[in-house]
Structure 1
């Protein structure tokens, strides 16, 4: 698979059967890659409602719900929906646009330590630090969200990393389908 890390993230999610994403159109490089003839984008009033909609979608379909937010206050708006997903054991994948890595810990506008802020409400948080990590990070997020006690996970998507291009095939899992059974995943 070739393209930006954002495209690889989307294509890997698509291989897991993601057909709907709730939220604001961030991480921007992921949304630029979305095939809107296959994946429906449901724009929410705010990130809180996006997380709640992803939770409801997961309950109704039996598949992980996906929501998206921008950094800083946008990410903290997810907390209500993530907490509900955690308490009711519902798999939700939250895509959070993170500040560019070059601005990390430099007090950029609306910079927030997303790990510290969101950790109490999710099973796992993974930051994608390089395009080569993208497909594995998505695969891990789906595995963690759907195995054991299901629950929400966060993928932090730094905007500069999502814009980087990767050539070649990052993982074979992108070619295999996600099973409808909770906990199933590509080998």
Structure 2
């Protein structure tokens, strides 16, 4: 039997492989053998750690949400000052392009939220934590005098920013020719500029 540390590493490798398989092939028709092939192991090895495919997919969703949020927070924390941090946050919320593996994976996994309470909770948690990120950036910018907010309820402004990111991101990943990353970022930044009264954004 594998030692606990080895088991954890093997579970992590299977989660990574399953994430790649979902991003590449989509959720429809996902099979254990697809994940096994991606991981370079037998189907039996996958089933040893995850007897139910649904449990593995949920673990992938949990990992994807945490990894994505950690990266977003790091991106927003890196620059100096509220304006630069807001710029970094805006850039970090959009796919790099239609083949962006992180966003493709998240959109695929969010697609099962209407049929699974656990996946719905993860999707809601991601949204709430992104709203919290923007709320903090807006509040800090206002306190520093860099932003003059157009609404008293900061969370409403933050929700709109996240919803716009999600909407544009979906169209980018879906290869809508009318919406590429550069266009989406320009429009998202224009909205942020309008709600903060900050022309430097």
TM-score surpassing 0.5? no
Give the TM-score, by structure 1 length.
Answer: 0.33
Whichever structure has more strand as a proportion of its residues is 1
Greater gyration radius? 2
Q: Which has the higher contact order (CA 8 A, sep 6+)?
A: 1
Give the TM-score, by structure 2 length.
Answer: 0.31
Whichever structure has more helix as a proportion of its residues is 2
